Amino acid sequence: MYTSGYANHLTPSTSAAGNAAQNSIGRVSTGLISEVVYREDQPLLKQLLLLPLLQQLGQQSRWQLWLTPQQKLSREWVQSAGLPLAKVMQINQLSPCDTVESMVRALRTGNYSVVVGWLPEDLSQEEHLRLTEAAEEGNAMGFIMRPVRGDSYRRGQHPGLKIHSNVYH
């Protein structure tokens, strides 16, 4: 999982609404972008990692946006996973470049607690920076879901979590 952003980082607010709601010190920002790299033949790992967080975020009044490449979310799966059906939106059949741009726009609005998007390749540094800034601006979380191919695993690329922390780097 590749994570960046600043949790509990004090930043000055730039919006008039934010200024009215904050005190003179600052506001707590929870903007975050994280990349989850997983093997498609092991879906349990991503469910164990993400579902508790998505369930918790589902308690907020904001929406959850899923940007999926081809598949459509099953209504039954959403309900059985404990996610709020009335707060989950999905857009499918996006190209990878449209997915990044759609994530940036959605994160920036502040209407979503979380935006989940699937991408086949690593993000460029510029894409990652744009997503991070948008997540911080919208006080939202973004998850990039990236499947690793089985042949990559056999060549030495290990599935798992890529963790980046500003605390340690």
Which of 43-47, 75-79, 140-144 has maximum average pLDDT?
140-144
Given a contact cutoff of 8 angstroms between Cβ atoms, the answer to whether 68 and 115 are in contact is: no
pLDDT of 26 reads 41
Query: pLDDT by residue (tens digit) across 30-72?
Result: 789 998 888 877 766 666 778 888 999 999 999 999 998 878 8
C-alpha pair distances (Å), 4 with each of 24, 31, 37, 148, 164: 26, 9, 15, 20, 6
32 vs 22, residue with greater confidence: 32
67 vs 16, residue with greater confidence: 67
* Alpha carbons 102 and 111: distance in angstroms, whole number: 13
Which of 38-42, 89-93, 113-117 has maximum average pLDDT?
113-117
Using pLDDT thresholds of 50, 70 and 90, give the confidence band for residue 18: very low
Mean pLDDT (the chain) is 75
Check pLDDT > 80 for residue 102: yes
Q: Please tell me whether the overall predicted TM-score, pTM, comes out greater than 0.85 for this model.
A: no
Given a contact cutoff of 8 angstroms between Cβ atoms, the answer to whether 72 and 90 are in contact is: yes
SS3 for 102?
A: helix
pLDDT of 7 reads 36
Determine which helix (DSSP H) or strand (DSSP E) holds 51, and give its type and residue range: helix 43-57
Check pLDDT > 70 for residue 149: no
Chain centroid to CA 110: 13
Check pLDDT > 50 for residue 9: no
